[in-house]
A and B are shown apart, each in its own frame.
Chain A
Amino acid sequence: MSILSNELREKIQAYIPRYPNKQAVTLPALHLVQDALRCVPNEAVREIAQMLDLAPSEVYDTMTFYGFFREDHNKLGKNRLWVCRSLACNLRGADDLLGHFCDKLHVAPGETTKDGKITLEFAECIGACEGAPCVLINDEHELNITNEKADQLIARLQKA
């Protein structure tokens, strides 16, 4: 049995004509798999490699360069919450904000809440410095985060 559904396979295949070689589909494939499975298990690495005419080690090598992708022992929760800690945010209290999220969620950066709803991470600059301190929920910015706003965000993500 294949770990990649037919639907996922078709989506990956659809990227192939965009590039002069198949290896270039590595990042799109990793994104598609992680979005669906919340991690990229070893078996998926093997299957991606097969689809792209690569050695599994080539896919794995690329994947592990980007701290963004998770292996199955370290699966993501339903939502990923990134708290920016770079200078613009730091100057406006990002340290305290990250601490607040840790306290409220009972996790350290990199960990997932017990109910599997939220993975907390720190981010290097997420490019929304006009709204510092800011966070990224999956790939969407939320600006000017106070402790109250943080609590509302958590409540929203726990319901989602």
Chain B
Amino acid sequence: MSICSSNWSAGFIPREPADRHDESSYPGIHPALPVSGSALSGHLDLRCELRADGVPVIARQSFRAPIHLSKSHVDEGRLVQSIVNPTAGFFDGDRLEMNVEVGGGAKLVLSTPSASRVYRTRSGGSAVCVQHFRVEGNAMLEWIPEPFIPHAGASYVQRTRIDLEPSASLLYFDWISPGRVAMGEVFAYQRLRWELDLTLGGRLIARERYDLAPGNESLEALRVKFPAAHYLSVYAAGGMAENWPARELDALTGVGVYLGHGPLAGGVNVIRALCCDSLSARRLLETIRPLLYGAAGVKPPSLGRIFC
């Protein structure tokens, strides 16, 4: 492991050599997982730290398909890193394990350049994504992926664990779409399994477990309000939850958007929203993000993509 600490110039964070992502360089960290059939077992192991001159850098990185990292940049004191899925989506049997750490005082923004897709299961099995985020003291993590789009017949399991130290900050977005609506695929997936644990200083603050399947009542709460509802969820903690813009958030409910927000334990706040379509969800996301950053007294860092 090495710290990217030399030859830094404004806005550019030097990368490790191209073969840095070969996990064979990291004996014992990620044992080589064979590609069997058409399924992939990949990983992302990433650590962001604060360099002595106050610039956040990637201190450790290891990744393997179906995931890839694009070049990062620094904006507003935050390291912005895009995660690319070069296979364009998950197939059944694919497995991705992500381990992301933000060291003390560092600020990291993780994003994806395009929607995450899961394709129809051929075997009946699921694609699995296990992600663990750890944010240390006075550090900040923003996780803002593009929407999750489950295709017709898709089966997918996502397990997320977020561990925050007491002085850490967090902005965590989830956006689940009903499917490829333009193709007539509305809640046509087979099964989504969503799990999330959020801890603060070792204390469990939020726990989510649910299965979504069109064949039972699990989608009722989405369909009752909007027939093709998009679901947005936001967790904010630390500095991103102070000066909470409650009135401004209240005002976002309107035609096509039904939103609620409130406190969890430990000063963590949550936002839940249902949106009538993708455009409403996109507009809402593009409103909420600068709103929360603005309330925290920070300009939102550019994600280096068209949106946000």
**Real complex partners, A and B?**
no
Q: Which residues of A are at the interface with B, using a C-beta cutoff of 8 A? A: none
